[in-house]
Copies of this chain bind each other. A is one copy, B any other.
Amino acid sequence: MKKFQAEIDVMPKKEILDPQGKAVTGSMKNLGLAEIQNVRIGKHISLEIEAESTETAHNKVEQACKSLLANLIMESYSFELHEV
Q: Which residues of chain A have a CB within 8 Å of any CB of chain B? A: 7, 9-11, 21, 24-25, 27-28, 31, 33, 35-51, 60-61, 63-64, 67-69
Contacts and interface: CB of A to CB of B under 8 A. Distances in A.
Contacts of A33: 60, 63-64
Contact of A44 (B9, B37, B50): B9
Contact of A60 (B35, B43, B69): B35
A25 to B, nearest CB: 8
13 contacts: A7-B9, A24-B68, A24-B69, A25-B47, A31-B64, A33-B63, A36-B48, A36-B60, A37-B49, A38-B48, A40-B46, A41-B44, A42-B43
